[in-house]
Amino acid sequence: MKVGLAVGFLVHLAILLAWDGTWGASLTWQDDWNRTVKAGKEEGRVAVIGPVGADRRDALALPFQKKYGISVDYWPGTGRNITPRITTERGARQYLWDVVIAGALEILLLPLNVLEPLEPALILPEVKETRYWRGGDMEFLDSKRSIFVMSPFHRGTLFVNPKLADAKSFRSYKDLLDPQWKGKIVIDEPRKPGPGQATFLFFYLHPDLGPDFIRALAGQDLVILRDYAQEVDAVAGGKYPVGIGFSDSIAEQRMRQGVPIAIVDPRDLREGSDVSPASGQLGLFDNTPHPNAAKVYVNWLLSREGQTEFTRATGYISNRLDVRTDHAAPWRVPMAGAVKTYGLEARRLGDEGMNPLLNAVLRR
């Protein structure tokens, strides 16, 4: 009897030793996650720089706080104030922030060298497994893999007052060169960061448009404004029939209010529109004050649950394949091969080629 028990024990031990490691690995990530969550709760809070807007703040804070009992200290940052703030704080040796969610991080923060690689902070299998992400991989913008793209989507680029212009009459951006639109087109200032600059970068990079199209468009006596709401209202109020490079979130807000403004469906335009993450880039600061809470937060945000909350609040499209897209217009879902107006190479081409061109052809 004792011999039989001993043999059984040895057989069981041999089976465990021959196991492929899946069970052990599962326990390892679960143990790591449980320890991280416990430590994060002890830290009590996570400090997040995020997009402007109460809806965005609530989506990025309230569900996380409810689930994990970790408070979110949220500061709404913009491209104009994130870099100066971080520069000032770091100059005073203050390390106040854990996570940043914004756009153009490759411009705003990468040169400051204040972000750390994101992948070591990822624990949950549903976040780390590439099969959940578009293109079969997680999209990072830099060699350190510190800037992650959460929400690539097609932007609205061409806007009309439907009482003054028929959206269906535009089949190409080259239709804007028709003499009937001279002096009647409003654009967001493309020589500063924003939707206007992204739109003109799309024109510049598109093989069927390019510099020649920008030169021709500049000859249409474009009306250049610098305030997103003012631009939308100038078209919606009937002062001008056509707009280029507006904030489509403000345009959609006005549309919900019944104001006469429409976004031309990019699928109706021969050249389509560009793909951009808008304020959907994610970074993790180095020297974080709440390292464990920060890990819990980025894992939650990149999970299906977190991405659902974020994209529904913003109207964006998640880079996760298992997050629904029915909250947004069908044309927002990114198409393969579309022009990207974000990333280091696109930014370089803009700085070296497009910006000098705009300074030459646009009036001050």
One domain for residues 325 and 217: no
**The predicted structure's pLDDT at residue 140:** 97
One domain for residues 309 and 187: no
Cβ–Cβ < 8 Å for 55, 313: yes
**The predicted structure's pLDDT at residue 336:** 83
For 143, residues 6+ apart whose C-beta sits below 8 A from its C-beta are none
One domain for residues 58 and 145: yes
Q: How far apart are CA 270 and CA 172, in angstroms?
A: 5
What are 46-87's pLDDT values in tens digits? Answer: 999 999 889 999 999 999 999 999 999 999 998 779 999 999
Q: CATH number for the domain including 222?
A: 3.40.190.10
One domain for residues 286 and 199: no
Examine residue 1 and state whether it is found in any structural domain, yes or no.
no
Q: Which domain holds residue 348?
A: 156-273+343-361
Examine residue 5 and state whether it is found in any structural domain, yes or no.
no
What are 239-287's pLDDT values in tens digits? Answer: 999 999 999 889 988 999 999 999 999 999 999 999 999 899 999 999 9
pLDDT higher than threshold 80 for residue 89: yes
One domain for residues 175 and 145: no
Examine residue 13 and state whether it is found in any structural domain, yes or no.
no
Examine residue 63 and state whether it is found in any structural domain, yes or no.
yes
Examine residue 8 and state whether it is found in any structural domain, yes or no.
no
One domain for residues 305 and 257: no
With tokens 């949220």, the residue in question is 74
**The predicted structure's pLDDT at residue 78:** 82
What are 288-344's pLDDT values in tens digits? Answer: 999 999 999 999 999 999 999 999 999 999 999 999 999 999 999 998 889 999 999
For 12, residues 6+ apart whose C-beta sits below 8 A from its C-beta are none
Q: In the chain, how many domains are there? A: 2
Examine residue 4 and state whether it is found in any structural domain, yes or no.
no
Q: Report which secondary-structure segment, H or E, holds 116.
A: strand 115-116
Report residue 15: phi and psi, to 5°.
-65, -45
Count CB neighbours of 100 within 10 A. 24
One domain for residues 245 and 355: yes
Examine residue 3 and state whether it is found in any structural domain, yes or no.
no
One domain for residues 227 and 349: yes
Q: Report which secondary-structure segment, H or E, holds 24.
A: helix 22-43
Half-sphere exposure of 69 toward its Cβ, with a 13 Å CA cutoff?
Answer: 7
One domain for residues 83 and 219: no
Examine residue 196 and state whether it is found in any structural domain, yes or no.
yes
**The predicted structure's pLDDT at residue 337:** 86
One domain for residues 170 and 265: yes
Q: In the 3-class helix/strand/coil scheme, how is 119-155 assigned residue by residue?
A: HHHCCCHHHHCHHHEHHHCCCECCCCCCCEECCCEEC
Distances (CA, A) of 343 to 2, 90, 111, 263: 68, 25, 13, 25
One domain for residues 240 and 216: yes
One domain for residues 266 and 281: no
Half-sphere exposure of 359 toward its Cβ, with a 13 Å CA cutoff?
Answer: 8
What are 29-56's pLDDT values in tens digits? Answer: 999 999 999 999 999 999 999 998 899 9
Q: How far apart are CA 274 and CA 313, in angstroms?
A: 21
Which among 281, 50, 279 is positioned nearest to 147, based on CA atoms?
281
Q: How far apart are CA 223 and CA 69, in angstroms?
A: 50
